Amino acid sequence: MKIVADENMPLVKELFTPFGEVETFPGRELGPEQVKNADVLLVRSVTTVNAELLDDSTIRFVGSATIGTDHVDQDYLKQQGIQFANAPGCNANAVVQYVLSVLFRLRPDWQEQTVGIVGCGNVGGRLYQTLQKLGVNCRCYDPFLSDAENAHLTSFEEVIQSDILCLHTPLTTDGSFPTFHLFDEAVLSQLLPDALLINAGRGAVVDNQALLDTLLNVLPQRSLQVALDVWEGEPDILLPLLEQVDIGTPHIAGYSYDGKVNGTTMVRDAFCGWLGETIPDSTFDGMAMADLDVSLLAEAILATFDVEKEDRRMREALLVEGEEIPHSFDLLRKNCPKRLEFHHYNVVNVDTIEAKKMAALGFQRRKF
């Protein structure tokens, strides 16, 4: 069996070699020639999987090690009898880590403010659960959930009046509740004057040109803050928008080592189910615990991942060095420093109150 995969899927050779020959390529270079004689295609979000890619291939299984699926034409796969699997929830904890890092960098008092979450699926739902553990006031908007599933559901009109808005919706263009340009000029104008908008979901959920216009024409009495991890038109992003936002990163919110390994493993498990094979008993974590000598929750979060460093990396590459935007954007993602999630860390010398908050996020506590 021939298996073709995105080279940025960690452990893809270790997990899939028992089932066949694994050949890897950069995700954006996966084209008809690479998949022509393959049986299995394994991708991440940068590869568009459709008829153009697969019509002349022998592909029978497609796996995407991602939560999102807007890069995959699932209707086409069904028509061709090609099995599809993705990895819902694989990097939810990583995105929560990203959002908390943004909050502590831009809003030190954010725990006293109201956080609105638009989209409460795998990622937004995990963020909601985390904020509830920290005692944060939340408003949630998700037309696909019921009050029984989320006690803080509210209308879209109410949620956009939150102090902080976190966007975690898939990108859809049809149906009863399409999300493409959900945050257009009209909606952006309705945000609170000093709101913080964080988009770590899908870039085109926010009309990027409208957002740029809003930031360029902001009134003196407004102090809108914006953190973008996802961008419309990636990897060819709107550079003037990067210049205006408070935090800009190259679609790496979910890029923890744990999240990426989870994605590869979940696709492998689905692949085994498709083959009718027993899932191998394999563990590849092997990461030693690290000690953090911190006293506050903010210090612990930023010690594991400081979003400001990623913002500087991106600005240096795209605004200072002036390299070709799409290529540089992809390199920033590929060379993103290795990031571990909270459960890999022991906190030491922490008082009981702060220790409880850290424990709620997954930090371990070392007692001497």
Query: For position 365, what pLDDT does the model report?
Result: 79
Query: For position 94, what pLDDT does the model report?
Result: 96
pLDDT at 283 over 70: no
Burial 229-252 (b: 16+ CB within 10 A, else e): bbbbebbebbeebbebbbbbbbbb
Task: Name every residue whose Cβ is closer than 8 Å to that of residue 30 and which is 6 or more positions away in sequence.
Answer: 4, 6, 41, 43, 47, 53
Contact 225, 192 (CB under 8 A): no
| Cβ atoms within 10 Å, residue 340 | 18
Catalytic residue chosen out of the listed positions 105, 168, 232, 234: 234
Does residue 140 share a domain with residue 124? yes
**pLDDT tens across 268-279, in order?**
999 999 999 998
In a domain, 184, yes or no: yes
Does residue 267 share a domain with residue 161? no
pLDDT at 25 over 90: yes
pLDDT band at 286 (very low <50, low <70, confident <90, very high): low
pLDDT band at 16 (very low <50, low <70, confident <90, very high): very high
Query: For position 287, what pLDDT does the model report?
Result: 65
**pLDDT tens across 141-187, in order?**
999 999 999 999 999 999 999 999 999 999 999 999 999 999 999 99
Does residue 317 share a domain with residue 218? no
Which residue, of 240, 275, 310, is where some domain finishes?
Answer: 275
Does residue 187 share a domain with residue 140? yes
Query: For position 280, what pLDDT does the model report?
Result: 85
Stretch 39-43: mean pLDDT:
98
Residue with tokens 């189910």: 273
Question: Per DSSP, what are the bridge partners of residue 117?
Answer: 140, 166
CA dist list (Å): 64 to 22, 43, 128: 15, 5, 25
In a domain, 294, yes or no: yes
In a domain, 285, yes or no: no
Q: For residue 331, what is the domain's CATH number? A: 3.30.1370.170
pLDDT at 311 over 80: yes
Pick the range with the lowest mean pLDDT from 13-22, 95-104, 358-367.
Answer: 358-367
Beta strands in the chain (DSSP E): 2-6, 21-25, 40-43, 61-64, 83-85, 114-118, 137-141, 164-167, 196-199, 225-228, 247-248, 290-293, 345-348, 364-365
Does residue 209 share a domain with residue 108? yes
**pLDDT tens across 173-232, in order?**
999 999 999 999 999 999 999 999 999 999 999 999 999 999 998 766 678 999 999 999
Does residue 349 share a domain with residue 264? no
Catalytic annotation present for 234: yes
In a domain, 281, yes or no: no
Query: For position 176, what pLDDT does the model report?
Result: 93
Name the average pLDDT for the chain.
93
Residue with tokens 């028509």: 79
Catalytic annotation present for 251: yes
In a domain, 284, yes or no: no
Does residue 230 share a domain with residue 134? yes
Does residue 98 share a domain with residue 20? no
250 vs 311: CA distance, rounded Å: 8
| Domain assignment of residue 35, given as a range | 2-90+256-275
In a domain, 132, yes or no: yes
pLDDT at 285 over 70: no
Q: For residue 25, what is the domain's CATH number? A: 3.40.50.720
Does residue 101 share a domain with residue 81? no
Residue with tokens 């990097």: 91
Query: For position 350, what pLDDT does the model report?
Result: 79
Question: Per DSSP, what are the bridge partners of residue 165?
Answer: 116, 197
In a domain, 177, yes or no: yes
Which residue, of 248, 265, 299, is where some domain finishes?
Answer: 248
**pLDDT tens across 288-306, in order?**
688 898 989 999 999 999 9
Does residue 109 share a domain with residue 85? no
pLDDT band at 1 (very low <50, low <70, confident <90, very high): very high
In a domain, 282, yes or no: no
Tokens standing for 19? Answer: 């089932």
**pLDDT tens across 77-135, in order?**
999 999 999 999 999 999 999 999 999 999 999 999 999 999 999 999 999 999 999 99
pLDDT at 57 over 80: yes
Question: Amino acid identity of 365?
Answer: R
Q: To 10 degrees, what angle do helices 92-106 and 307-315 make?
A: 80
Catalytic annotation present for 158: no
Catalytic residue chosen out of the listed positions 168, 251, 268, 339: 251
Task: Name every residue whose Cβ is closer than 8 Å to that of residue 271 and which is 6 or more positions away in sequence.
Answer: 16, 19, 40, 61, 63, 85
Question: Amino acid identity of 114?
Answer: T
Number of domains within the chain: 3
Catalytic residue chosen out of the listed positions 105, 202, 333, 339: 202
Does residue 47 share a domain with residue 133? no
Does residue 201 share a domain with residue 63? no
